Structure 1
Amino acid sequence: MRAFIRGSYPPVPSILFAVCWAYGVTGLFALTGPPAGPWRPGLGTAVAALTIAVDMLLMRIVDDIRDLPYDRVHNPDRPLAAGVVTRSSLLRWYGVIGALLVLVNLFDCWAALVIAVQLAYALLLLLPGPDPGRLVLTLLLSSPVQLLLHLYLYTLHLRTTGGGFGPSFWPALAVVVLATLHLEVAKKITRSPRPGERTYVTTFGLPATVAVAVLSPVAATVVLVLAAPSAWVLLTLPPLALPALAWWRFRRADRWDARLAFFYLLASFVSWAVTAAAGGTS
C-alpha cells in the first residue's frame, strides 16, 4: 500500500486538496443556505476532511484498476501498471479501509450511509462497461461518485446547523459541479493528441473544449453570486484569474497548463470557506 500511495496518491497535495474540498464545499453550503451569520467549521468538518482524504485514496484505487490497460501504454510507471501491486491486494485494502471509513462516520447514521453507498457504487464502475475512452459517457457514469461526496458534506453540514434538506443544496451543487468540470476538461486539453490519448478534444474539437474550460468557472461564479448575493461574495472572484491566465498561455502552447486548473479549483475551495467564515450572506 505504501508503494501504491507513493506512485499514485502523493500524500501532501492529495491531503491538501481533500482538506480544502471538505472545508470549501461545506462553506459553500453555508453561503447558499439561509442567512445565519458567519460560518464556523467544527469537529464534524474535520472528520469530513479526513473522510474525503481517505475516500480519494480509495477512488484512486478504483481509477487505477479501471484504467490499467490504458496505463500500461501511457503511464507504465504507475504501481499497478508496473506490477508493484496487484489488483486483488488493492481490492482487499479497499474493503478494509472502506469499512473503517464507514465506522468513523457512524456518529451520523445518514452520513455513514451516504459514504457506504458511494463506496459500493464506485465498485460497480469496475464491472464490464463501455470503453473508458468514451470520456463523456465515462464522466456521466462516474459523476455519482463525486455527487455522493457532496451529499455527504451537506449531510454533516445539516447536522451542525440543525436544519433540514432545502432547495439551497441545488445551487451549491451546481457551483461545485461547474468548478470541477473546469479541472476535468482543462487537464486533458491538447492541440495534438497522441495516438490513443484520452482527451475531450477528440470528441468536441479544440474550440468547443476550450470554451467549456473557460466558461465553466465563469458560470460557477455567476451561479454563486445569484445564490448568495452579498458584498462578501466578491472574495470568490480572484480564482477566475487562473483559468484566464491558463487560456492566455495556451494560445502559444500545445497543452493547457493542468497545474493552473488544479490551483483554480483549490483556490475556489479556499475562497468559499473564507467567504463563509468572513460573513457569508449575513
Structure 2
Amino acid sequence: MTSFPPAPARLGRFVLHRFRPHLYVTYGLLWVLALESTAVAATGRAWRPSGATWVRVTSVVLALLFLRMLDEQKDLAHDRVHHPDRPLVTGAITAAELRGAMAVITVGAAALNAALSATDSLLLLAALGYGLLLAALERLSSAVRDRQLLGLAVTYPVQVVLGAYVYGSLVAAGTVTADWRGAVLLALSACVFLHFEFARKTAWEAPPGARLYAADIGPRRSALVTAGFAAGAVGCQVPLCAPDGPLGLLPCLAAALPAWGTLRFLSARRGAWPMPTAIGFVVATYLALITRAVLWP
C-alpha cells in the first residue's frame, strides 16, 4: 500500500518547487521596503523600518504565495499537456490541500493586519479577493484565458491592489499623507514588474506550449515594450527622487541593465531576452531606492 507524506510536508515541497523563496520572498521584501521607504523619503524625512514594516512585508509575501497557489489551480488543464511534472498534475499536492492552505493564509494575514488597523486588513483582503475573482473570470472567458495581452490587462491589477495595500497602510498609520506621489509610486512599481514580466515572455522563437507576448506582437515589438516599461520606471523616479540631488538620481543608474538587455536581444536575433538584466533591474532599482531613503537627508 502506497503511503503519502503528511500534508504539511507536501505543502512545504510545493512551496520550494513552485514558490521559490529566494525569488518570491526576496521580491516581496524589496518591493515593500522600496515602496515604503520611497513614500517616506519623498516627504523629506529619513526612513527606518518599524514593526509595521515587517507586518507589511510578511503580508505581501503571504499574498504572493496565495496567488501562486491560485495560479497553480487555474493552469491545471494547460499544465497537464505542457508541464506534466508540476506538483498538482503529478499528485504531489492536491487542489483541496492548496485551498486549505489558502484559507489559512487568508485568516492569518487578516489577523496579522488587524493588529495595525481594520483598513490594513480590508486592503489586503481586497487583493486576495481580486485574485479569486480573476480565477472565476478565467473559467468563464476563453478570451481572458487564452489571449496573453488581454489576460495580462485583466490579471495585473492584483499587483496594483497589493501596492495600494502597502501605501494605504502607511496612510492609515499617519506615516504619510495621501497625495499624487502615491500614484507615481504605484506606477513606478508597475513599470518595474512589467519590465520583468515582458522580458521573461520575450523571445525570437516560441517553444511548444510557451505563452509568450512575443508570439502575439512579434519579438521586436515585445522588446520595445519591455524596454519602454524600464524607461517608464526611470521616468517615475524623476519627480520622486531628482529634487534630492545626486543621491536622488542613484536609482536611475539601474537603467543601464535594461538598455544592455535590449541591445543584446535585438542584435542577437535569436534566443530569449537575457533574464539576468531584467532580474538585475528589479533588484538594483529597489535596492537603490531603499539606500537613498536610508541615507536621506
Question: What is the TM-score with the length of structure 2 in the denominator?
Answer: 0.87
1:125 aligns with 2:134: yes
How much has 1:159 moved relative to structure 2? 4.1
1:268 aligns with 2:281: no
- Give the counterpart of 2:60 among 52, 58, 63: 52
Which whole-Å CA distance do the structure 2 matches of 1:82 and 1:263 have between them?
Answer: 33
Matched residue, 1:110: 119
Residue range with higher mean Cα deviation, 183-192 or 252-261: 252-261
- Give the counterpart of 2:215 among 202, 205, 211: 202
Determine which structure has more spread, i.e. the larger CA radius of gyration. 2
Which whole-Å CA distance do the structure 1 matches of 2:257 and 2:289 have between them?
Answer: 16
Matched residue, 1:248: 263
Unaligned runs of 5+ in 2: 1-10
Which whole-Å CA distance do the structure 1 matches of 2:14 and 2:189 have between them?
Answer: 29
How much has 1:135 moved relative to structure 2? 1.4
Which whole-Å CA distance do the structure 1 matches of 2:154 and 2:263 have between them?
Answer: 32
Change (3 A) 1:158 1:23: same
How much has 1:105 moved relative to structure 2? 0.4
Matched residue, 1:166: 179
How much has 1:269 moved relative to structure 2? 1.5
Percent identity, please: 25
Matched residue, 1:135: 148
Cα deviation 1:80-134 (Å, max 9, x = unaligned): 1222111122111101121111100002111110111111121122211333231
- Give the counterpart of 1:192 among 205, 210, 215: 205
How much has 1:45 moved relative to structure 2? 0.9
Which whole-Å CA distance do the structure 2 matches of 1:74 and 1:268 have between them?
Answer: 34
How much has 1:186 moved relative to structure 2? 0.6
Matched residue, 2:162: 149
Which whole-Å CA distance do the structure 1 matches of 2:277 and 2:89 have between them?
Answer: 27
SS at match of 1:237: helix
Structure of greater relative contact order (alpha carbons < 8 Å, 6+ residues apart) = 1
Which whole-Å CA distance do the structure 1 matches of 2:58 and 2:70 have between them?
Answer: 19
SS at match of 2:146: coil
Matched residue, 1:215: 228
Counterpart of 1:214, as a letter, is A
- Give the counterpart of 2:238 among 220, 225, 239: 225
Q: Which has the higher helix share?
A: 2
Which whole-Å CA distance do the structure 2 matches of 1:3 and 1:21 have between them?
Answer: 25
SS at match of 1:40: coil
CA contact (8 A) 1:190 1:254 kept: yes
How much has 1:9 moved relative to structure 2? 0.9
Which whole-Å CA distance do the structure 2 matches of 1:239 and 1:129 have between them?
Answer: 41
RMSD, aligned α-carbons = 1.8
Matched residue, 2:75: 67
Unaligned runs of 5+ in 1: none
Residue range with higher mean Cα deviation, 162-171 or 15-24: 162-171
Aligned residues: 278
Change (3 A) 1:163 1:236: closer
SS at match of 1:191: coil
- Give the counterpart of 1:236 among 235, 251, 274: 251
SS at match of 2:135: coil
CA contact (8 A) 1:189 1:200 kept: yes
Matched residue, 1:13: 23
CA contact (8 A) 1:18 1:52 kept: yes
Which whole-Å CA distance do the structure 2 matches of 1:191 and 1:19 have between them?
Answer: 33
SS at match of 1:126: helix
Question: What is the TM-score with the length of structure 1 in the denominator?
Answer: 0.92
